[in-house]
Structure 1
Amino acid sequence: MSDARSTTAEPAKREEFSGQLGFILSAVGSAVGLGNIWRFPGVAYENGGGAFIVPYLVALLTAGIPILFLDYAVGHRFRGSAPLALRRVKRWLESLGWFQVAICFAIAVYYAVIIAWALSYFVYSFGLQWGDDTAGFFTGTYLQLADVGGADPWFTLDFVPAVLIPLVLVWVAVVVVLAARVAKGLEKVNVVFMPLLLLAFGTLVVRALFLPGAADGLDALFTPNWGAMLDPNVWIAAYSQIFFSLSIAFGIMITYASYRKRRANLTSPGFVVAFANSGFEVFAGLGVFAALGFLAHEQGVAVAELEGLSGPILAFVTFPAIVSQMPVGWLFGALFFGSLVMAGFTSLLSILQVVSASFQEKFGWTRRQASVRIGVVAGVLSVGAFSTTTGLIALDTVDQWANNIGIVASAVVTTVVIGWVLRRTEEMRFHLNGVSTIPVGRWWSFCIVVLGPVVLTAMLVSRIVTLITEGYEGYASWYLAVMGWGVVALFVVAALVLSRMRWRVAPDDFVAWPTYGGKS
């Protein structure tokens, strides 16, 4: 059992970011990931174009920023990773923290694979090795994708060397960075990579804007379809995009906030992180659709007739086709895939920091021990499950359930428990206002207690019903039960088991600051 009385060891002094800039760049590095580049432009295009900005901003102000601030308040006030901080809110909430850790671990295991793909394509860019048939190269030559459900089984251990080698390199780099202290490892990588990412992707966007047909691509993206505003699915899409983009409700921002100094400002950096993330998404939309406009111009078709306008197909099939037809295309390709590597790597570090910090605090591991042990286990699972000929199918399925079921369920439980069951919202607002220069009003409490749970529950129920009634991508129902619902069940089991295990350092010998005089 998780009885803190089993030990009287004193907790070590908590690591801290060197300052506000380091924290902001690290938080932005976590938020700005692969989805900003390959997901937002396609989602905006499919949900009203320019009109999508309205529900997007509403979602940012009513769900994204409020829940981001809630994560900040919990992590900073209770000075711990997700399991420790939530336990200090209420003892039995530790299991919710471990649920979030389990989600992070699963996401990290497959997220590293996509970074490995981008790393491979960065190298391929210099020789345009994908040739004219970019789709055939990605699924056939590169991934050697099995014909699951046909001639090949759903699971294989046929490893693909072109994926395996860069994937191992990614995991080695992750372990090295995480083994360093927060300020010397995690923060320094973000301080270097974030400006480089902006420079590389900015160069790419400027180049794309001057390509023939770029204006047609921008027209396709930004021409508003105001009728879409009446479609509830468009609003759900806007809330989904904000929710997944900001790295909220699955332990990352709780953990990051816990590394801030006691008197650190929270709300001002929070606004900077939120708007920087959204600004980068719009910026990415400019580059992506300018490039798509060029491809449509070269093929003599409308942008709407192109295939693969979002997701991995956009990145690894459509963009290589664009690069192949551009003057000095190798440079454009190197900038694009280099940007994917940097954006993905900083996000992967933030995801794994949640896992590492949680095990350090629970079991008394050193940072190096946690980094090596977690990195080796995650790396082995990553290689075994996702660098094979069936890896893409497994990745797609786990990603769908981890994000749309796991993370959204975590957000629903967090807002309902803190806002409704425990009634701790005012305490969190008190904390934010006690240390920040920009106070938050009762609008924030309303968003956390009422609006957030309603919208998130609608998202969750809608997705569950769709997955149950329609399945996913035509995959076999037994496969979805194992790799989809089974993975979510593992999250729950891991959360229950880990929350019952013994703490190495007493977790409850703690007094929150500043002192809150209201009822809690």
Structure 2
Amino acid sequence: MWAMEEGESTLSLAQEGSSLGNTPPESLMTKASESLPRKASSAESQLPELEPNFGEWEGGVLMTWSASAWVTRAQVSEAQMTKEERLLEMRNMNEKDNKVFAPRPVWSSKFQYILALMSYMLMPSRIWRFVSLWLHKGGCSFLIVYILMFFFIGVPLLFLEMAVGHRAQRGSMDLWKILSPWFGGVGYSVFMVCFVTNTYTNLYNSWILFYMSHIFYFSVPWQHCPLQSNASSFDPECERATSYAYFWYQQTLKASDRIEDGGPPASNLAIHLFLAWCFICVFMINGIKSFEKVLYVLVPLPYFMISCFLFRTLSMEGTEYGLKHLLILKVASIYDLTMWLQAGVQVVLDMGVGLGPIVYLSSYIPGSNNCLKDTFLMAVIKLLTLLFTSPLIFSILGLWATITTHRCCKKNREKLIMLIAQGVLPPEVQPPDLHKNPTSTYNSWLNSLLPPLRRAVLSKVPECNIQEQFLKIKESPRFVFLVFTEFISIVPASAFWTVLFFLLLLSLGLCTVVAFMLGIITPLQDTFSFFRRQPRVLTVGASVVMFLCSLFFIQASGIYHYWLLTEYWIALPILSIVICENLAVAWAYRAKRFLKDMTALLSHPICPICCWLWCYVSPVALLTLLVAVIVQLITKPLTYIAWDSNTSKEMVRHYPMWALALIAGLYVFIIIPIPAYFAYRLNLGMPIRPPVCPKMSCRSAQTLSEKGASKDTVQTYKTKSLSA
């Protein structure tokens, strides 16, 4: 719901609007205009108290919404108009083209709002990165540091964004101008980083759809090596590969050997990418109302499927090997500054702040909602979800390492038998049968050989060590995607588990992209009147633009640009934006003043520790993280893993220098609106803080929250929340 939060005329109109809950939208403007003559003297006396930037629109029109009506800026100038002129203008607006905009929608219930936040915050790539850091950065030591950073940095930042969206009740790009004239460029940077991120996020869903199109084969293609073109034998390059799934994955992407090598987009992936964007368009065609309907399926479904996978894997071989890594505690890692920095960056990325969807999702909630409780609820859900999915991932990684080691032992046995037959190795190194427990049998035999014979064997075949195989696990989400794909292809009833696995990934991926689309559509609708009148045109148009931009990432070298953005670039703009948001609330608008507004809105006091965290802890921590990320990008080489088609092996390659320039250029492009707007306001001599206005006091905020919305709408919302 929209509200100006200043002026007696707006509040009085909202009071009248509360009795018009069932009035057709076409008559709302006319009824509002009939009340304006009675409010002329009141508006004239209250007009100077309005804040100059509160409610400012790019197009020159201010649209204010209570739960009953949209009102134009004509109200602001009513003191200078005669009674006849006011009535004539308002009626002409009604009759001109019937452009009375629909009220800003709200969530039908509190439960749907929580589901929407969960759908955005449960990003699958972030969950995997958390598990990878847990494994490689100290085990339980990383978990301890992560939880500390989570509650001292992540939760306050999450509350800040939820409170801003709840307080302002809008999602326009100039939202941050309200908090401080100097930070007006933050909204534009948030919009752009959300746009860029969304261009490649849906790519992951296209991979899932492509794999799902093959799961009904009698034998899934990534379970074995593909046939050669003459269909007489398996591809020898795949036979040399350590992972059939990875080889099939590279063939699917048609990825080049290096980032410098280009090529056309992969047509097979383009079809599935288009289908993925069609899903997003359908989910968003009616705004949050259509999104609400799919939330009941897309959000609970992953938890059910994760539980099924967990119970299925606990009884399989190798599970205990993966689970024991959950209990490893490396005390020395506590003193590792790098681990603290990586934990801090991971917390900021996990909370999803800085990209816009949290602010926009919170702006659709009525003023009676307690966003402080919602913040802690979402924080607990996020943390419990990470702790719930980690055992599953560790157990499957243990299974994968066991299976891969078994396969290594069997390949070594076959190769040794061939070398013995050729006379390269003596008959004394004849390997045993490996039908039962291949790894244990093979390693026991190898260790029993005389040192000269053992060295001769290891000179021809690699050593099969499950510990080394387990530690090969990488941070890239691509790796866990391939591990799961290869794992479920060999378990009993693999077709069922394959369907379940891809539905799990698809539900999480689609939820994330829909939330990003809200971060694009909502500010455009709140800023431009045409998009409010034509929401479906905006949704279809945005989906088409996103699809065309996504085609860049399915070309031959597109996958390497995808990893460049997700692994090296994304942290830079997010940290910078969150720093500016923090400063805008804590120092420009002032944290005490903001908390006083929220106290009036929530009707109960807020713990003053939030003020201390916003003013001192969060800015210092965020600035430290940003500097650390920049230093790391400058001092350490940027690498990526490519598939060498000549050797059928993974190769670690260095990004060229122009890749670093690309990161820097895109970062500057995203952030430039912030200093540009800052300089513009500074040149105009605008104060850094908006003026303190009596109508922005705590009391008026409380009055607005209670009277600015239709009583019927708020009561309906509360009733649905309780029933949910």
**Fold shared, TM-score > 0.5 on shorter chain:** yes
8 Å CA contact retained: 2:156, 2:610: yes
Paired residues for 1:248-327 under 5 Å: 248-298=353-403, 299=405, 300=439, 301-306=465-470, 307-327=472-492
C-alpha distance after superposition, 1:51-104 (max 9, x if no partner): 322111111111111001000111111111162421222234331011011111
- Alignment of 1:400 onto 2:590: no
2:249 maps to which residue? Answer: 138
User: Structure 1 CA distance, aligned partners of 2:568 and 2:181?
Assistant: 28
Q: What SS does structure 2 have at the residue aligned with 1:440?
A: coil
8 Å CA contact retained: 2:553, 2:561: yes
Q: Return closer, same or farther for 1:57/1:389 CA change in 2, 3 Å cut-off.
A: same
1:243 maps to which residue? Answer: 348
How far is the alpha carbon of 1:304 from its aligned partner? 4.8
Q: What SS does structure 1 have at the residue aligned with 2:185?
A: helix
8 Å CA contact retained: 1:79, 1:258: yes
User: Structure 1 CA distance, aligned partners of 2:697 and 2:268?
Assistant: 51
- Alignment of 1:415 onto 2:595: no
2:277 maps to which residue? Answer: 171
How far is the alpha carbon of 1:126 from its aligned partner? 4.3
Q: Return closer, same or farther for 1:226/1:263 CA change in 2, 3 Å cut-off.
A: same
8 Å CA contact retained: 2:59, 2:527: no
8 Å CA contact retained: 2:582, 2:614: yes
1:503 maps to which residue? Answer: none
- Alignment of 1:472 onto 2:578: no
How far is the alpha carbon of 1:105 from its aligned partner? 0.6
How far is the alpha carbon of 1:142 from its aligned partner? 0.8
How far is the alpha carbon of 1:402 from its aligned partner? 4.3
2:121 maps to which residue? Answer: 31
C-alpha distance after superposition, 1:415-460 (max 9, x if no partner): 133223x152123323444444885312212221111111111111
- Alignment of 1:330 onto 2:495: yes
User: Structure 1 CA distance, aligned partners of 2:468 and 2:622?
Assistant: 31
Give me the identity figure in percent.
Answer: 21
Q: Return closer, same or farther for 1:269/1:46 CA change in 2, 3 Å cut-off.
A: same
How far is the alpha carbon of 1:37 from its aligned partner? 3.6
Which stretch of structure 1 is more off in the superposition, 368-377 or 251-260?
368-377
How far is the alpha carbon of 1:244 from its aligned partner? 0.8
- Alignment of 1:88 onto 2:181: no
Q: Return closer, same or farther for 1:489/1:334 CA change in 2, 3 Å cut-off.
A: same
Partner residue of 2:544 out of 376, 379, 395? 376
8 Å CA contact retained: 1:418, 1:425: yes
8 Å CA contact retained: 1:79, 1:85: no
8 Å CA contact retained: 1:265, 1:437: no
User: Structure 2 CA distance, aligned partners of 1:144 and 1:35?
Assistant: 22
8 Å CA contact retained: 1:415, 1:452: yes
Q: Return closer, same or farther for 1:334/1:439 CA change in 2, 3 Å cut-off.
A: farther
- Alignment of 1:78 onto 2:246: no
Amino acid at match of 1:302: I
Partner residue of 1:340 out of 492, 500, 505? 505
Amino acid at match of 1:446: W
C-alpha distance after superposition, 1:209-262 (max 9, x if no partner): 222111110111332222211112222222222211121122111111110001
User: Structure 1 CA distance, aligned partners of 2:304 and 2:519?
Assistant: 28
Partner residue of 1:217 out of 304, 310, 322? 322
Structure 1 alignment gaps of length 5 or more: 501-510
- Alignment of 1:463 onto 2:629: yes
User: Structure 2 CA distance, aligned partners of 1:438 and 1:37?
Assistant: 35
How far is the alpha carbon of 1:5 from its aligned partner? 7.8
Larger Rg: 2
User: Structure 2 CA distance, aligned partners of 1:431 and 1:211?
Assistant: 55
Partner residue of 2:612 out of 442, 446, 453? 446
1:129 maps to which residue? Answer: 221
2:410 maps to which residue? Answer: none
Matched pairs, number: 499
User: Structure 2 CA distance, aligned partners of 1:29 and 1:3?
Assistant: 31
- Alignment of 1:491 onto 2:670: yes
User: Structure 2 CA distance, aligned partners of 1:302 and 1:415?
Assistant: 46
Q: Return closer, same or farther for 1:452/1:126 CA change in 2, 3 Å cut-off.
A: farther
How far is the alpha carbon of 1:357 from its aligned partner? 0.8
Q: Return closer, same or farther for 1:437/1:37 CA change in 2, 3 Å cut-off.
A: farther
- Alignment of 1:6 onto 2:174: no
8 Å CA contact retained: 2:575, 2:622: yes
Q: What SS does structure 2 have at the residue aligned with 1:446?
A: helix
Paired residues for 1:107-118 under 5 Å: 107-118=197-208
How far is the alpha carbon of 1:462 from its aligned partner? 0.9
User: Structure 1 CA distance, aligned partners of 2:105 and 2:539?
Assistant: 15
Amino acid at match of 1:373: G
Q: Return closer, same or farther for 1:303/1:446 CA change in 2, 3 Å cut-off.
A: farther
Q: Return closer, same or farther for 1:6/1:85 CA change in 2, 3 Å cut-off.
A: closer
Q: What SS does structure 2 have at the residue aligned with 1:130?
A: helix
Structure 2 alignment gaps of length 5 or more: 1-55, 64-70, 73-100, 225-243, 406-438, 440-464, 640-653, 681-694, 702-724
- TM-score scaled by length of structure 1: 0.89
User: Structure 1 CA distance, aligned partners of 2:349 and 2:528?
Assistant: 30
1:507 maps to which residue? Answer: none
User: Structure 2 CA distance, aligned partners of 1:8 and 1:90?
Assistant: 18
1:161 maps to which residue? Answer: 267
- Alignment of 1:355 onto 2:523: no
User: Structure 2 CA distance, aligned partners of 1:109 and 1:451?
Assistant: 33
User: Structure 2 CA distance, aligned partners of 1:59 and 1:73?
Assistant: 20
C-alpha distance after superposition, 1:144-169 (max 9, x if no partner): 101225xxx4443x111232111101
Q: Return closer, same or farther for 1:17/1:267 CA change in 2, 3 Å cut-off.
A: same
User: Structure 1 CA distance, aligned partners of 2:135 and 2:603?
Assistant: 37
Which structure is higher in helix share? 1
- TM-score scaled by length of structure 2: 0.65
Q: What SS does structure 1 have at the residue aligned with 2:355?
A: coil
